[in-house]
Amino acid sequence: MSEPGFPVDRRRLMAGIGALAGTNLLPLSAFAQTRARVIIIGGGFGGATAARMLRDLLPSARITLLEPNATYTACPFSNLVIGGTRSITDQHFSYDALSLSGITVIPEHATDVDPVARVVTCGDGRTLAYDRLILSPGIDFRWNAIEGYDAAAVDRMPHAWKAGPGTLRLRDQLLAMEDGGLVVMSVPAPPFRCPPGPYERASLIANYLKNHKPSSRLLILDSQDAFSKMPLFKEAWERHYPDHLEWRAASQDGRVICVDPSSLTLSTDFEDIRADVANVIPPQKAGEIAERAGVADATGWCPIDATSFESVLQPGIHVIGDATIAAPMPKSAFSANLQAKVCAIAVARLLSAMDAQPTVLANTCYSFITPDEAVSIAGVYSNAGGKFTNIDGAGGLSQLGAGADVRKAEAAQAEAWFGAITGEAFG
Amino acid sequence: MFARSCLLVAPLLLAVACQRAPVLSSIEQSVTDASRLTEAASLAATCSGCHAGPGTGVPSLDRMDAGTLSARLAFYKTDADGTTVMHRIARGYSQAQVDAIGQYLGAESIDE
């Protein structure tokens, strides 16, 4: 009873349980551990937010976060780093605020999960028992889904689809490229992290070329025929980058099926294209631990009950963020952060012997079309009945044809969003 | 508030403990404030994704009372000329939900 803030009423409650135990109705093991144990795997926008929210909602629970990186590098806004107008250090966040709030942050990978015994194994061999596990593992890549694109190819052809060293490598390759060069970007078929992300990146690379290497060009080879915020991006590209950006749809032989990193060649069905800088965004799946925990299905992603975020494959494990099958909710930082908060409420309710309750969720996603102009998409969703559904009549895109004042206002709103969401996740 | 939530949980705890003893460890948790686990709390969870900052670019919701919040959300629902994401988002909520969000966040502002 020496824990700080342990309330008087709880002591009375414990005395009551003790009396009950005296009647031999309960096995002694029931008293061996009296604080709920919640483990969160993955310290991105989903996992860090879930840990902080649960710390807040359940002050006496043991909240443990497994995250191998001491510093988090945020993906949103990292395309500005590639475009040369933002520093990577503006993308860096620590877990100090989480540790200070009483969350146990373990700087290890989770290497295994036993969903029956409810035990997580850490990279250092330690095992941790949980009552509820929240997986927020983000994405991993399907190496060789594009022939020749494996883990060894990322130096020559960075994906930069997890912000970090690859972000800087791609930026530095653009900086080192001689004027007159060809930049080629390969976009995978959906689903993938951040649906409008490739097109924001294309805009900001084209902006860099226009201003610094005006004889150079960006070619987007796409496995899609339509994409997120397409009318807004096409409008921006016609206005700002008519000489610097070309988009080739899947149906126009845009799908990359094979690459050769040594010669920087990308091949479609009918053409081999030699790039000076190649950015290959590979096909994706849920972060690897999802498969080992048994919560990913044959698609590589994680089916969940949308109301509780509990896996439909493994009771006691909740999954949030990019790893989930949550369409029509997109794989965005906003979604991960909000899913974390709603999941935390559901977990706190379940640990307090209450059912998870349905609610309304929203998503907001800004994309930069130039370094100081942005466009947005919003959506509103129900998670009733265990399924995500669009709420009709809500959501949609920024207005087509709006002036620079509206675009600049949305860029300022994007900055505010980034400050708010990183503050909520990392303190 | 703490005392009230404990009183609510106590009978549940004992009832469940008698049936399924091992679950005891899981439910031996009382939340600080049961009002934070309500439908209103989960509806309002969306707002802080953008509005938790100091108020630059996007307004801060601190110090806004329930009436102001409800009225602003209701305005966004019906304003046809708007260019912000709030115009597109507010249309997804019923008036009752808008009021619940206003009351929840308004009460939170007073607490602070």
Query: pLDDT grade, residue B111 (50/70/90)?
Result: low
How close, in Å, is residue B67 to chain A by CA atoms?
Answer: 21
In the numeric block, the tokens 């009549």 are attached to A393
**pLDDT for res A215:** 98
Residue A147 CB partners (closer than 8 Å, separation 6+)? A257, A258, A259
Q: Is B63 left (phi over 0), alpha (psi -120 to 50) or beta?
A: left
Would you give the end-to-end CA distance of chain A in angstroms? 29
Q: Model's pTM, two decimal places?
A: 0.89
**pLDDT for res B94:** 96
Select from B9, B17, B92 the Cβ nearest to the Cβ of A391: B92
In the numeric block, the tokens 């960075």 are attached to A158
**pLDDT for res B31:** 62
Residues of chain B with Cβ-Cβ distance to A348 below 8 Å are 29, 31, 37
Per-domain boundaries in chain B? 1-37, 38-112
Token representation of residue A230: 């397409």
Residues of chain A with Cβ-Cβ distance to B45 below 8 Å are 338, 341-342, 345, 359
pLDDT tops 70 at residue B98: yes
Do A380 and B93 make contact, defined as CB atoms within 8 angstroms?
yes
Do A9 and B93 make contact, defined as CB atoms within 8 angstroms?
no
Residues of chain A with Cβ-Cβ distance to B28 below 8 Å are 17, 34-36
Cis peptide before A76 (omega within 30 of 0): no
Task: Please tell me the class of the B38-112 domain.
Answer: mainly alpha
Token representation of residue A247: 């988009």
**pLDDT for res B57:** 87
Per DSSP, the residues of A313-360 read: SSTTEEE-GGGEE-TTS-S-HHHHHHHHHHHHHHHHHHHTT------E
Query: pLDDT grade, residue B33 (50/70/90)?
Result: confident
The helix/strand/coil state of A247 is strand
Do A357 and B39 make contact, defined as CB atoms within 8 angstroms?
yes
A235 vs B55, more confident: A235
**pLDDT for res A21:** 37
Cα–Cα distance for residue pair A422/A257, rounded to 1 Å: 36
How many other C-beta atoms can be found within 10 angstroms of the C-beta atom of residue A89? 9
Percent of chain B with pLDDT over 70: 69
Q: What is the pLDDT of residues A62-121, one digit of tens each?
A: 999 999 999 999 999 999 999 999 999 999 999 999 999 999 999 999 999 999 999 999
Cα–Cα distance for residue pair A277/B40, rounded to 1 Å: 50
pLDDT tops 50 at residue B23: no
Residues of chain A with Cβ-Cβ distance to B14 below 8 Å are 16-17, 20
Name the pairing type of β-strands A110-114 and A71-73. unpaired
**pLDDT for res A9:** 37
C-beta contacts of A386-389 below 8 A and 24+ residues apart: A386/A305, A386/A306, A386/A307, A386/A308, A387/A306, A388/A306, A388/A326, A388/A327, A388/A328, A388/A329, A388/A361, A389/A328
**From A362, which residue of chain B is nearest by alpha-carbon distance?**
B46
Do B93 and A360 make contact, defined as CB atoms within 8 angstroms?
yes
Do A420 and B39 make contact, defined as CB atoms within 8 angstroms?
no
Q: What is the pLDDT of residues B60-71, one digit of tens each?
A: 998 899 999 999
Instruction: Please report the number of interchain residue pairs, chain A to chain B, with beta-carbon separation below 8 angstroms.
Output: 188
Q: Which site among B83, B87, B101 would you substitute to test the A interface, given the most A Cβ atoms closer than 10 Å to its Cβ?
A: B83
Do A413 and B50 make contact, defined as CB atoms within 8 angstroms?
yes
Do B29 and A352 make contact, defined as CB atoms within 8 angstroms?
yes
CA A256 centroid distance within chain: 24
Q: Which site among B5, B35, B46, B108 would you substitute to test the A interface, given the most A Cβ atoms closer than 10 Å to its Cβ?
A: B46
Do B84 and A413 make contact, defined as CB atoms within 8 angstroms?
yes
The helix/strand/coil state of A71 is strand
* Average model confidence (pLDDT) across chain B: 77
Q: Which residues pair with A389 in a beta bridge?
A: A382
How close, in Å, is residue B5 to chain A by CA atoms?
Answer: 10
Residues of chain B with Cβ-Cβ distance to A58 below 8 Å are 29, 31-32
**pLDDT for res B108:** 83
Do A56 and B29 make contact, defined as CB atoms within 8 angstroms?
no
How close, in Å, is residue B16 to chain A by CA atoms?
Answer: 8
Interface ipTM: 0.88
Residues of chain B with Cβ-Cβ distance to A61 below 8 Å are 29
- Positions of chain A with pLDDT under 50: 1-32
Select from B25, B32, B48 the Cβ nearest to the Cβ of A59: B32
Do A20 and B14 make contact, defined as CB atoms within 8 angstroms?
yes
Select from A348, A394, A409 the Cβ nearest to the Cβ of B89: A394
Do A423 and B49 make contact, defined as CB atoms within 8 angstroms?
no
How close, in Å, is residue B71 to chain A by CA atoms?
Answer: 18
